[in-house]
Amino acid sequence: MSDPTDILVLNTGSSSVKFAVFDAQLHERISGVADGIGGSGILRIGAHKEVLALPDHRQALMAVLDRLTQRGTGPDSLRAVAHRVVHGGTSLTMPTRITPTVRAAIQACVPLAPLHNPHALLAIDALDHLAPDLPQYASFDTAFHATTPEVASRYALPPQAEALGLRRYGFHGLSYASVCRRLPEISAAPLPARLLALHLGNGASICAIKNGQSVGTTMGYSPLEGLTMGTRVGTLDPNATLRLAEEIGLRETKEMLNTQSGLAGLSGGLSDMRALEQAGTPEAQFAIEHFCYWAIRHGHSLIGAMGGCDAIAFTGGIGENARNIRARILDGFAWLGCSIDPEKNAQNAPCLTTSTATPTAWIVPTEEERQIALDADTLIGAAT
């Protein structure tokens, strides 16, 4: 029997498990999602869909492994399982093999990511039971930002607040790591020394990447800070948060700021950029303008953190596909010499700017799952 070659990547949420299988060359073989965990769910693999009971994460993973086995890529053909873990805190700042000590460290970060880390732990524990001999690895969404200087990551709070873990961690790190890997391949040139990377989707952030390392980002203690997002408010005066908590209650404030604000709050309920562009209402137009304005404004702040800008990269669903949004944002950087080529932008071409533009602008498709597989592959190779 030949040695196992595949790596299974898992992205586990509260009611879903997204998965992808990568071969030895890190080409994606199969992908899908088990959705609706907690009741009657749906398991999609490629174009195939089936309805089945998914009472909990363990049953969902059992179903995923069973269907993958039927397709010839079950546990016996896997080298490893690699997990996306949202929060690694200040201690888990590199991809790592999951050991009891690492699992305890992920558990210790639950207060920092109560909506995310517990579900990753459910998947880790379920796999440990279902396939105990299968090595498991973790890549952390916060890890890319571990290089940000203390002056950028620390809030102006006294030590007792710092001791609670209240600091800027940043997120979308796996996306930014994949941008740094892919942009040189796309541009056929070295990674720009000062890269402004915009991950624009339902969740949105910007990162200042200097010499391949994060030196600043818009998300902070949680993914709520920074840009106007699909349903998240972005940066808000803390006293406004306190006023809301006094008026409507803490639970209701948390719900409002995370799920009822952002584009949805401004437009009357539309959080999808495509729907906003099609709506044509004054409220939808204002929401779009708000999104672009704050991307431009935050972007310039991060250019200041780098001392200049050599290139701009767009990734994420909006960044890769919404040509009008890209054009509006890049117009805000025209004074720098970032001259957009309308035809290239309309075609979603890799390079969006004219031949003489400085900085240049690029579309870099995000490859978070492949980045996670690459992280695990690298660790496996280093251990052999």
The catalytic residues are: 141
What separation in angstroms does the CA of 117 have from each of 89, 135, 140, 256, 316? 11, 19, 10, 22, 22
Rg (CA), the chain: 21
Residue among 363, 253, 384 nearest 316 (CA): 363
User: By the 8 A CB rule, do 153 and 169 touch?
Assistant: yes
- Partnered with residue 84 across adjacent β-strands are 139
Structure tokens given for 79: 């080298």
- In this structure, what token pair is assigned to residue 19? 């998965």
Residue 100 DSSP code: H
Alpha helices in the chain (DSSP H): 57-70, 100-108, 117-130, 150-153, 159-162, 173-187, 238-248, 250-259, 262-267, 273-279, 282-306, 316-321, 323-331, 342-346, 368-383
